[in-house]
């Protein structure tokens, strides 16, 4: 699964097409499931693949933004042990990329959640 997530990240970085709502929903659900259930390496690659996907989808990801953000913030609070330091850093980076991807208006409604999560780190 780790390699599949890394391949998706590489694919999305060069992707110039558009992703439909059903495709985005399916991708985000599968990647979020991996962040919640996979081993550390899978979690790291899944969260990076998710960020790359949203970076390409931009505003099309808005319908899934709030739920995704809540799951990622929960991940920051849940995986606080030393061995998850790399994963937590990638989650922070993913949150930043996702928030930038969906745009300022979508981010504004969730800004307090993100700021509070960062203050608790």
Show the low-confidence residues of the chain (pLDDT under 50).
Answer: none
The reported pTM is 0.92
Query: DSSP letters along 44-89, please?
Result: HHHHHHHHHHHHHHGGGGHHHHHHHHHHHHHHHHH--SGGGHHHHH
Whether the Cβ atoms of residue 64 and residue 24 lie closer than 8 Å to each other: yes
Number of domains in the chain: 1
* Token pair in block for residue 118: 């960062």
Closest by CA position to 2, among listed 46, 52, 32, 36: 46
pLDDT digits (tens, 9 = 90+) for 51-66: 999 999 999 999 999 9
Q: Which domain holds residue 41?
A: 2-119
Predicted local distance difference test score (pLDDT) of residue 117: 86
């Amino acid at each position: 699964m780790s390699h599949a997530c890394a391949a998706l990240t590489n694919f999305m970085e060069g992707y110039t097409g558009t992703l439909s709502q059903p495709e985005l929903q399916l991708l985000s659900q599968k990647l979020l499931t991996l962040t919640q259930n996979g081993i550390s390496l899978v979690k790291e690659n899944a969260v990076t693949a998710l960020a790359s996907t949203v970076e390409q989808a931009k505003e099309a990801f808005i319908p899934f933004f709030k739920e995704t953000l809540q799951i990622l913030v929960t991940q920051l609070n849940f995986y606080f042990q030393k061995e998850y330091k790399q994963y937590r850093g990638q989650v922070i980076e993913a949150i930043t990329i996702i928030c930038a991807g969906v745009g300022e208006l979508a981010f504004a409604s969730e800004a307090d959640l993100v700021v509070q999560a960062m203050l608790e780190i």
